[in-house]
Structure 1
Amino acid sequence: MAIVTPGVVPASVLLAEPRPAWLKRFAEAATTIRFGDFDADLSAQARLVVLDCLGAIAAGMQEPEMRALTARLARRGGRVTAPAVGAGLALRADDAALANGIAGTMLELDEGNSFARGHPGIHVLPALLAVRPLAEVSGPDFLHAFVFGYEAGARIGAASRLRNALHPHGTWGTVGAAVGAALLDGAGAEEVIGAINLSSSLSVGSSLRTMLEGATVRNAYAGMSARNGLTAWDLVTAGFTGETDGVRSVYGGVLAEGFRPEEMVAELGTRWEIRRNYFKRHAACRFTHAALDVVAGLIAGHGPIAPEAVAGIEVVTYVWAAQLDGARPDNMLAAKFSVPFAVATMLAHGAASVPAFRAPALTDARILDLAGRVTVDEDPAMSAMLPDRRPARVTIRLTDGRVLTAETFTNRGDAVDPYGPDEVVAKFMELATPVWGAAHATRIREAVDGLDRAADLADLDALLKEPAREEH
């Protein structure tokens, strides 16, 4: 009997669908293009992204919640081989992937990709640090797995449109983590296909509202993705199977829609998503950065602007930034997702730094009063520029009658307006030095810089397991 209910497809039709052609092409590229085929710029970029992620993880690991979580996870015992970066201990592989993924998003300083509309690196790296003991892994193999894990996740993000109520963390990053884990374990093309299909079903359906409320479960999403990616690969190696076209099912209907399979292989092997990434210097949601870049430019051009000298501020920007209009955040996470607070605290502190979003700033009457005088509006023309551009126009009206205004169409750190390698390294040192001291942070930097030549990662493993300084 034929089905007449709209939207329900008979199993006979579903099961007749063939495996999509892109899966084979992607898996064959991932297993035949080796690290030796990467050019020097791609290798350097991969090492820079790894370094940036490690800095974000180490700094985030010092937050009170992370200290409590790693202490609890350490009680499990078992075979502890993987570093909890900055915690000074090793954990079980799955627990380390979870902890490192969470820590890397705690301070909103993890790198990302505007075309994927998310943060590929912090989903993939925690999984790779835990697949197997790092002493058994060569640097070139690690970088190869990292680049293709990044590629898999980022391309799914670019090829689909997540539902508006969904947070991007924990979604397609699960597939990236699984692909990276599979490659680091020496998977062949068929196994990579299995990892892609199975891991898509383990993607996290995560609420966007958590970031607006400041519900810190949001920080767990990337950690869940890294852990689920490891689990997916374990299931594949044990004989479990995924759907024939799991990515299309999940990212063409369940979590997202409009999946375009051609994007998974467009310019594959020549256009690398990790090269189209961005790095962050403002310790806040990327959607705030256009406004913050404009404010930084106004400060540079006109000198410090005291909050009490401001009558009002108007921010006009694209839709996802305009959504962040809450002016009185309850905690650090919510503050990082508030354009009014981010702009106000930047004027008060001179920079959108980590301290600018901590508890003292959240109760600072000058900042809160100014945040209440910031309006945020969407310009549909600016929204239409996404994802290639992330624009904002800021107008600051001063109490003395002066009006300061400027706009931007790109964000500092984007591929079209990148930070130089020295600036990314400086960011790592700023984050890692308070954790371990300058000498130890320098040794980690040098170890990451030498990944392309490392026969094994035993030294890096030991460096990442070093405890934080007592005074930190």
Structure 2
Amino acid sequence: MSIVTPNIVPASVLLAEPRPAWLSQWGAFASEISFNDLDKTLVEQAKLVVLDCIGAVAAGMQEPETRALVVRLGRREAGGGFAAIGAGRRLNAGDAAFVNGVAGTMLELDEGNSFARGHPGIHVLPAALAARRPAEVDGRDFLLAFILGYEIGARVGAASRLRNTMHPHGTWGTIGAAFAAAYLDNADEQALIETVNASASLSLGTSLRTMLEGATVRNSYAGFSARNGLAAWDLVASGFTGEIDGVRSVYGGVLAEGFRPDEMVAALGQRWEIQRNYFKRHAACRFTHGALDVVARLIAEHGPLDPAAIARIEVETYVWAAQLDAPAPANMLAAKFSLPFAIATTLVHGEASVPAFRAAALADARIVDLAARVAVNEDPALSAMLPDLRPARVAIHLTDGRVLSGETFTNRGDARDPYSPDEVMAKFAELARPVWGETHAARIRTAIETLDEAADLMALDALLAAPPLKDE
């Protein structure tokens, strides 16, 4: 039999394909590795990422939409076993994973990975925390599961190219979430492989326009990855199966293109993606950070700038940052994905803080007028530097004829120009203190710093389940 229609492969050909070698290698690798095989610097980095994610979740949980979501989900079940972090409520595993993933992306402060072109940590952590009851998981197993989930999800992102209309949240993070859940539930080598294949099919088909328009359904995508990751493992553990090569099917043709299987195992066990991550201090899309770093440096060098003294601002940057050129965002989410607004509000507030993107800033005539005077253009030479570099050039033209300018080729907080551990911990404190108070935030930090000594997660869980100060 034959088929003459282009791009349609007969089932007889598809079904004859063997399991990909990289996937078998991954199954063996994850089954054989132990916590004692991990370098100390890797473990410390993983703890920092966990701490950073929890700070982002707790702060995002205070947003009115997230708080309302927790209440609504809580009505469906009389209690639950897993903490909605920063809400003072417990939910069932799927709902807790979902709402924690939602909360972690609300403020655009969750860590990410430039090579994966997305945010692995906030997809994996909520699922890992809900995979098994806290009394059943020791700290070392938890950290190793988190590292492995982060690793496989990030590698799928790096090995493929999502379609330009896709948002990265909710996609390959589902695979990382499922892998961590399966690992924590003692899945064997074959079950881990099956979980990867099954979870690939449960990835979301997300829309990039949501972030540009400020459609806040976008904030749910990471939550769905966490929930679907748990569901993928439940299916596999119950006997359901995935495709023989689900990752290639979805990330080589459905949601993405150009899947490169060699990338999945390149330096496996030697190069860890969680050590190539970035942390965020600007409360906006990572693509804005190069320009915002330059603006912050110009403020530090020249002092505060009066918006009325600025004639115009010119930005040259790489393609994905240049796409964020809408000057008049409709809400907080859209503002975080508007480079003109992000620059204008940073100049007015002195930093790209959480308040700098709230309703008061959106209504501030100084910011609105200044954002309209920001021009953003792509420089193809800068785009060619991706993903290793994230460059930007900024020129602030003053009404007196002076031009304040600067450029950067990296973003503060990435692997080339990292924040120190103390800076990451300071960020956590800034996010967690308003939620729980300084003493409680410090206790959470200590619990995470000593996770590798913990016989279970009960102490950490109790801290994360505590109600916020405003509810006491």
Query: TM-score w.r.t. structure 2 length?
Result: 0.99
| Structure 2 match to 1:144 | 144
Q: Equivalents in 1 of 2:338, 2:254: separation in Å? A: 29
Alignment of 1:397-416 (within 5 A): 397-416=397-416
Q: Which position in structure 1 is the counterpart of 2:335? A: 335
Secondary structure, aligned partner of 2:470: coil
Whether the 8 Å CA contact 2:56–2:107 is kept in 1: the answer is: yes
Aligned to 1:30: 30
- Are residues 1:197 and 2:215 paired? no
Alpha-carbon distance in structure 2 between the residues aligned to 1:460 and 1:308: 49
- The Cα of 1:292 is off from its aligned counterpart by 0.1
- Runs of at least 4 residues off by over 3 Å: none
- 1:418 corresponds in structure 2 to 418
Q: Hey, what does 2:289 align to over in structure 1?
A: 289
- Kindly provide the CA deviation profile for residues 353-375 of structure 1, in whole angstroms up to 9, marking residues without a partner as x: 00000000001000000000000
Inter-CA distance 79–232: structure 2 relative to 1 (3 Å threshold) = farther
- How far apart, CA to CA, are the structure 2 residues paired with 1:306 and 1:187? 59
CA shift digits 1:286-313 (9 cap, x unpaired): 0000000000011111111121111000
Corresponding residue number in structure 2 for 1:357? 357
Alignment of structure 1 residues 250-265 onto 2, 5 Å? 250-265=250-265
Counterpart Cα distance in 2 of 1:331 and 1:287: 18
CA–CA separation in structure 2 for the residues paired with 1:305 and 1:204: 43
Report the Cα offset of residue 89 of structure 1.
1.0
Name the SS for the 1:220 alignment partner: helix
Is the 2:148–2:180 Cα contact (8 Å) retained in structure 1? yes
Counterparts of 1:209-224 in structure 2 under 5 Å? 209-224=209-224
Counterparts of 1:394 and 1:34 in 2: how far apart (Å)? 47
CA distance in 2 between counterparts of 1:446 and 1:374 reads 44
Q: What CA distance in whole angstroms lies between the structure 2 residues aligned with 1:470 and 1:167?
A: 34
Q: Secondary structure at the match of 2:65?
A: helix
Using the alignment, how far apart are the partners of 2:256 and 2:383 within structure 1?
A: 19
Query: CA contact under 8 A between 2:215 and 2:333: conserved in structure 1?
Result: yes
Supply the AA of the counterpart residue of 1:341.
Answer: F
Match of residue 302 from structure 2: 302
Q: CA RMSD in A?
A: 0.8
Q: In 2, distance between residues paired with 1:18 and 1:307? A: 62
Q: In 1, distance between residues paired with 2:79 and 2:175?
A: 25
Name the residue aligned to 2:51.
51
Q: Residues of 1 paired with 2:310 and 2:253: CA distance?
A: 47
1:229 aligned partner = 229
Amino acid at match of 2:117: R
1:343 partner letter: I
> Per-residue CA shift, 1:329-379, capped at 9, x if unaligned?
010000000000000000000000000000000010000000000000000
CA distance in 1, matches of 2:89, 2:105: 20
Tell me by how many angstroms 1:471 deviates. Answer: 7.1
Partner of 2:446: 446
Decide whether the 8 Å contact of 2:79 with 2:90 is kept in 1.
Answer: no
Structure 1 position 161 matched with structure 2 position 154: no
Out of 21-30 and 49-58, give the one that drifted further. Answer: 21-30
Tell me, yes or no, if the aligned pair for 2:57 and 2:104 is still in contact at 8 Å: yes
Determine the structure 2 residue equivalent to 1:344. 344
Q: Distance in 1 between matches of 2:369 and 2:416?
A: 35
Following superposition of structure 1 onto structure 2, how do residues 99-178 of structure 1 map, counting pairs within 5 Å? 99-178=99-178
1:211 positional shift: 0.2
Q: Quote the Cα distance in structure 2 between the aligned partners of 1:118 and 1:27.
A: 24
Match of 1:96 in 2: 96
Shift of 1:78: 5.5
What letter is aligned with 2:18?
Answer: P
Kindly provide the CA deviation profile for residues 388-447 of structure 1, in whole angstroms up to 9, marking residues without a partner as x.
000000000011111011100000000010000000000000000000000000000000
How many residues end up aligned between the 2 structures? 472
Measured after TM superposition, the shift of residue 137 of structure 1 is: 0.7
Provide the rounded CA distance (Å) in 2 between the counterparts of 1:79 and 1:370.
49
Amino acid at match of 2:131: V
The share of aligned pairs that are identical, in percent, is 72
2:268 is the alignment partner of 1:268: yes
Q: Distance in 1 between matches of 2:206 and 2:179?
A: 21
The question of whether the paired residues in 2 share the 8 Å contact of 1:411 and 1:417 is answered with yes
Which SS does the other structure have where 2:17 is aligned?
coil
Cα distance 1:179–1:4, how it changes in 2: closer, same or farther (>3 A)?
Answer: same
After TM superposition, give the deviation of residue 24 of structure 1 in Å: 1.0
Structure 2 CA distance, aligned partners of 1:424 and 1:257? 35
**Structure 1 length-normalised TM:** 0.99
Contact 1:135–1:461 at 8 Å: present in 2 too? no
Specify the SS of the correspondent of 2:395: strand
1:96–1:130 CA contact under 8 A, matched in 2: yes
C-alpha distance in structure 2 between counterparts of 1:135 and 1:281, whole Å:
34
Amino acid at match of 1:470: K
- Conserved in 2, the CA contact under 8 Å of 1:18 and 1:244? yes
Q: Which amino acid aligns with 1:130?
A: A
**Does structure 1 retain, via aligned residues, the 8 Å contact 2:142–2:184?**
yes
Inter-partner Cα distance in structure 1 for 2:236 and 2:293:
45
Deviations 1:66-92 (A, max 9, x none): 010000001111561111000001100
C-alpha distance in structure 2 between counterparts of 1:256 and 1:78, whole Å: 41
Equivalent residues of 1:101, 1:126 under 8 A apart: yes
Letter of the structure 2 residue corresponding to residue 439 of structure 1:
T
